């Protein structure tokens, strides 16, 4: 009698041991499926602490599994049951009903879950909860708080802002305990800050937070000048804290895969990257139209095309030329085309808050090209295309809602594991600030 069961088995605990033991007793051969890292991420299970190898080792050390396999995709259970000639599928009672569809293939048994223990609980006990305070209470802050509910181990319980009434309302609506207009007080209450205020204020808030030894997740662009961004990274290193530029795209699985494919030579040598990001903003009373707080298309949006360009072609470009179109009334650039020249490649970034364009990314190489349709910054699908269309390949991925959860998980894991941010490197953030500063020096230095 063959029995099969599945799980993540992160930080192996008593509940895991119990279910494996009872599953083993239901037959005479136990197969255990351990989820792959990619599968966990793709089904929205974030924050798994141990690697696949470590989790397999956990199951092996229990001495209860006769065979261990890796679970990599939805629908694999049906195939496994048939392939291994399984008689019984066993899973904990937290899944009751969810696997009834397998009854067509074998017996399905839900076993009572062991009370009072879970990997999530152990993770929280071991690493504690990271209390993140929200600096600012605007549109993006609301989205981040909503997304944070999907990331275990982090908690948003405090908000800082300048307008007392506004932050009180914000705290109420988002179930936060603490709100204040006093930044020092606020910093005392938190382990880390999420900075979501207008661009021109990032530097001061981030610097103060770092000096108070708080980790910083900062909305893009981190600052509007190269030196300020560089200084923040240096200060963070000196104070032993982490600072992250919150470019959500860079943390999304599909985007990372896209970059790896492109860099692997599948389309030959990359000669051209063309990336567009436009987001229409029609209300001119919003900060996007206010030069004094860093408004305009370049400040607001160029981070996205640049992260793709810099990941693909590097930060050592030879020259950059801007072709902006300005709003007469406010002076902000409502559409800008930037050409970036490298030794053997050219890139183009198109950004607009007052002009709409197809938001696609095209990476052209000497053997073929990669096409990522709009919205490429929330990539769920891309295609590798060749002259011979029979060789074209399509790739599909998951990207949940706003996708801010991925950067939050990475930020959290980097703090608890002491790892580097490899998704947005310090030098890439610094190079992005340099481009923004160059643009500002050329067109409206006096205004910022």
DSSP codes, 199-218: GGGHHHHHHHHHHTT-EEEE
- Phi then psi for residue 329, to 5 deg, are -70, -50
Pairwise CA distance, residues 235 & 228, whole Å: 10
Q: Choose between 117 and 315: whose C-beta lies nearer to ligand CTP.
A: 117
Q: Choose between 10 and 226: whose C-beta lies nearer to ligand CTP.
A: 10
- Candidates 86-94, 203-211, 340-348, 420-428; binding stretch for ligand CTP (CB under 6 A): 86-94
Q: Choose between 19 and 338: whose C-beta lies nearer to ligand CTP.
A: 19
Choose which of 42, 49, 58, 119 interacts with ligand CTP (CB under 6 A): 119
Pairwise CA distance, residues 278 & 350, whole Å: 8
36 lies in the binding site for ligand CTP (CB under 6 A): no
Supply 103's token pair: 């009854």
- Candidates 101-109, 114-122, 311-319, 345-353; binding stretch for ligand CTP (CB under 6 A): 114-122
Show the binding pattern over residues 240-279: x = contacts ligand CTP (CB under 6 A), - = does not: ----------------------------------------
According to CB under 6 A, which residues from 9 to 28 bind ligand CTP?
Answer: 9-10, 15-16, 19
Q: Choose between 98 and 391: whose C-beta lies nearer to ligand CTP.
A: 98
End-to-end CA, the chain = 73
CB of 259 to ligand CTP, least distance (A): 29
Supply 52's token pair: 């696949």
- Candidates 89-97, 182-190, 225-233, 283-291; binding stretch for ligand CTP (CB under 6 A): 89-97
350 φ/ψ sector (left φ>0, alpha ψ -120 to 50, else beta): beta
Radius of gyration of the chain (CA): 25
Burial of 198 from C-beta contacts in 10 A (0-12 / 13-18 / 19+)? middle
Pairwise CA distance, residues 224 & 176, whole Å: 31
- Phi then psi for residue 312, to 5 deg, are -85, -40
Q: Choose between 8 and 249: whose C-beta lies nearer to ligand CTP.
A: 8
Show the binding pattern over residues 356-395: x = contacts ligand CTP (CB under 6 A), - = does not: ----------------------------------------
Rounded to 10°, the helix 404-417/139-148 angle is: 60
Q: Which residues bind ligand CTP (CB under 6 A)?
A: 7-10, 15-16, 19, 91-92, 94, 113-114, 117-120
């Amino acid at each position: 009698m063959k029995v099969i069961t599945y799980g993540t088995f992160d930080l192996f605990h008593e509940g895991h041991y119990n279910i494996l033991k009872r599953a083993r007793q239901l037959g005479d051969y136990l197969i255990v499926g351990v989820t792959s890292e990619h599968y966990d991420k793709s089904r929205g299970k974030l924050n798994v602490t141990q690697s696949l190898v470590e989790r397999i080792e956990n199951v092996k050390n229990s001495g209860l599994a006769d065979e261990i396999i890796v679970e990599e995709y939805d629908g694999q259970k049906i195939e496994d049951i048939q392939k291994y000639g399984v008689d019984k599928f066993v899973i904990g009672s937290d899944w009751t009903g969810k696997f009834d569809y397998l009854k067509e293939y074998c017996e399905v048994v839900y076993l009572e879950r062991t009370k009072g223990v879970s990997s999530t609980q152990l993770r929280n006990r071991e690493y504690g909860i990271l209390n993140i305070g929200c600096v600012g209470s605007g549109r993006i802050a609301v989205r981040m708080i909503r997304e944070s509910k999907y990331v275990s181990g982090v908690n948003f319980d405090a908000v800082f802002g300048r307008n007392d009434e506004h932050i009180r309302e914000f705290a109420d609506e988002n179930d936060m305990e603490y709100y204040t207009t006093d930044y020092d007080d606020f910093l005392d209450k938190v382990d880390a800050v999420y900075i979501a205020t207008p661009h021109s204020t990032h530097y001061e808030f981030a610097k103060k937070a770092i000096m108070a030894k708080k980790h910083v997740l900062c909305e893009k662009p981190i600052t509007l000048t190269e030196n300020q961004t560089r200084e923040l990274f240096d200060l963070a290193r000196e104070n032993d804290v982490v600072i992250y530029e919150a470019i959500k795209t860079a943390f999304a699985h599909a985007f990372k895969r896209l970059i790896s494919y492109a860099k692997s030579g599948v389309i030959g040598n990359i000669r051209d990257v063309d990336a567009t990001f436009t987001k229409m903003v029609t209300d001119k009373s919003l900060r996007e139209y206010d030069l004094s707080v860093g408004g305009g298309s370049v400040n607001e949006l160029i981070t996205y095309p640049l992260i793709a360009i810099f990941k693909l072609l590097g930060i050592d470009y030879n020259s950059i030329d801007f072709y902006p179109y300005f709003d007469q009334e406010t002076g902000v650039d409502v559409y800008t085309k930037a050409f970036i020249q490298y030794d053997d490649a050219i890139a183009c970034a198109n950004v607009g808050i007052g002009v709409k364009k197809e938001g696609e990314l095209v990476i052209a190489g000497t053997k073929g090209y990669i096409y990522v349709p709009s919205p490429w910054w929330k990539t769920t699908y891309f295609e590798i295309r060749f002259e011979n269309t029979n060789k074209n390949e399509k790739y599909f991925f998951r990207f949940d809602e706003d996708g801010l959860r991925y950067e939050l998980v990475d930020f959290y894991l980097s703090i608890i594991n002491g790892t580097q941010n490899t998704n947005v490197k310090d030098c890439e953030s610094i190079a992005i600030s340099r481009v923004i500063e160059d643009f500002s020096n050329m067109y409206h230095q006096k205004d910022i």
